[in-house]
Amino acid sequence: MEKRMKNERRIRTSASIQQRAKELRQKMTPAEKMLWESLRNRRLGGHKFRRQHPLGPFIADFYCAEKRLVLEIDGDIHDLQREQDEQRTRQFEEFGYRVIRFRNEEVETNIGLVLKKILEACQSPSPRMGRGVRGEGRLPSPNFGRRAGDEGSKG
């Protein structure tokens, strides 16, 4: 069993979100698979990343707990999706998570630059924990999580 960081709050996640994360790990996009091969087993600077990791009502594509860093890989984005992604990013940031977004194409065509940006983020100080919208250490309603019908095919 992993030791939890002293200052890290546990964010409650429902059983359905945990099950959905497990399913998404089996349905990763080609870009997610490519990035995972470079992150898994502490391959990037010794930092531990998790894939399709539940954080409250959300499922982060990749997550590094020690750095409170969320990585999101975005497929084709239309205006509605962009607004939802921006809202999701703001909510993660309100809870003290740093979020970096990459497009599928960035990962697939320039993995070296993507890894460099991630490593630079890991080497900068971790953000302080936010108080959250409600000040209770919980992320907001699952309504802000992945949309129904989002079956892991992001692009």
HEC profile of the chain: CCCCCCCCCCCCCCHHHHHHHHHHHHCCCHHHHHHHHHHHHHCCCCCCCEEEEEECCEEEEEEEHHHCEEEEEECCCCHHHHHHHHHHHHHHHHCCCEEEEEEHHHHHHCHHHHHHHHHHHHHCCCCCCCCCCCCCCCCCCHHHCCCCCCCCCCC
Query: 70-118, pLDDT tens digit by residue?
Result: 999 998 776 678 888 999 899 899 889 999 999 999 999 999 999 999 9
- 32 neighbors 51 (Cβ within 8 angstroms): yes
Of 33-47, 84-98, 115-129, which one has max mean pLDDT? Answer: 33-47
Question: How high is the pLDDT of residue 141?
Answer: 44
Distances (CA, A) of 5 to 44, 56, 76, 77, 90: 20, 17, 35, 35, 23
Of 25-29, 35-39, 94-98, 142-146, which gets the smallest average pLDDT?
142-146
For the record, the structure tokens of 148 come out as 């129904």
Q: Where are the domains of the chain?
A: 29-122
- 107 neighbors 39 (Cβ within 8 angstroms): no
Phi, psi for residue 50 in degrees, rounded to 5: -115, 150
Angle between the N-to-C axes of helices 111-123 and 30-39, in degrees from 0 to 180, rounded to the nearest 10: 50
Amino acid in the structure at residue 95: F
Of 9-13, 62-66, 77-81, 110-114, which gets the smallest average pLDDT?
9-13
Strand pairing class (98-103; 69-74): parallel
The CATH architecture to which 29-122 belongs is 3-Layer(aba) Sandwich (3.40)
Q: Which residue has the tokens 């084709």?
A: 76
